[in-house]
Amino acid sequence: MTGQGKASVDILLAESFKELVQQQPIEKITIKEITDKAGVIRPTFYNHFQDKYELLEWIIRTQLIDPMQILLENGMFQQAMVLLFTSMINEKAFYMKASHLEGQNSFESIVKSSITTVVQEVLEKRGHIEKLPAWVSNELLAEYYAQSASFVMIKWIQSGMELAPETMAEVYDDMLHMSLSDVLRK
């Protein structure tokens, strides 16, 4: 199967999964339901994904996080966050339901892992930041920023995604630029 053919099956399975998530909890969705809705046979699913959690990770990575990477690489943090929040609000029903997934393969852990990977890739291209001690690795920084981004995303989802993507991006940017010392002084 060509790369393009694989990608189209991935998208077909993802769209099927997203529709099912809006009808029932992820934990209750079966691979058979996903493949039946997509119009493919079960072995096709397993040629693309190990399980439904890997499919969810693929959706988050390819549809939310990866599109931000080029913006981050070009120092366009605020635009990257607007893109992230806009992508989520465009599929609000899916992300509202998916965010309820807890446990070993929680929505939050998948988001955090995906963001960590992308931020670390961006940081690796830039090299070590001179102002920081050597023990503050790019991996540590990526985890720190992924933790804060996933926290803000989850809180936004839990609040019903009422704030506009541009406002959320501004709020998050403001939070990142304030140190705890700044907050305590005010």
Q: Kindly give the confidence (pLDDT) of every residue in the chain, 186 residues in length, as a single tens digit, with 9 standing for 90 and above.
A: 555 567 799 999 999 999 999 999 999 999 999 999 999 999 999 999 999 999 999 999 999 999 999 999 999 999 999 999 999 999 999 999 999 999 989 999 999 999 999 999 998 888 767 777 878 888 998 999 999 999 999 999 999 999 999 999 999 999 988 888 888 886
Looking at residue 3, its pLDDT comes to: 52
Q: Are 14 and 89 members of one domain?
A: no
Q: Are 92 and 21 members of one domain?
A: no
Q: Are 159 and 74 members of one domain?
A: yes
- Domain of 72 in residue numbering reads as 53-185
Give the chain's domain count. Answer: 2
Distance CA 17, CA 69 (A): 25
Q: Are 42 and 80 members of one domain?
A: no
Cα–Cα distances in Å, from 158 out to 48, 88, 162? 31, 13, 10
Looking at residue 2, its pLDDT comes to: 53
Looking at residue 184, its pLDDT comes to: 86
Q: Are 179 and 92 members of one domain?
A: yes
**CATH number for 14:** 1.10.10.60
Q: How far is CA 103 from the centre of its chain?
A: 17
Q: Are 66 and 92 members of one domain?
A: yes
Q: Are 7 and 94 members of one domain?
A: no
Q: How far is CA 121 from the centre of its chain?
A: 15
Distance CA 35, CA 152 (A): 33
Q: How far is CA 131 from the centre of its chain?
A: 29
Q: Nearest 5°: phi and psi at 160?
A: 90, 10
Q: Are 147 and 66 members of one domain?
A: yes
Q: What letter represents residue 133's amino acid?
A: P
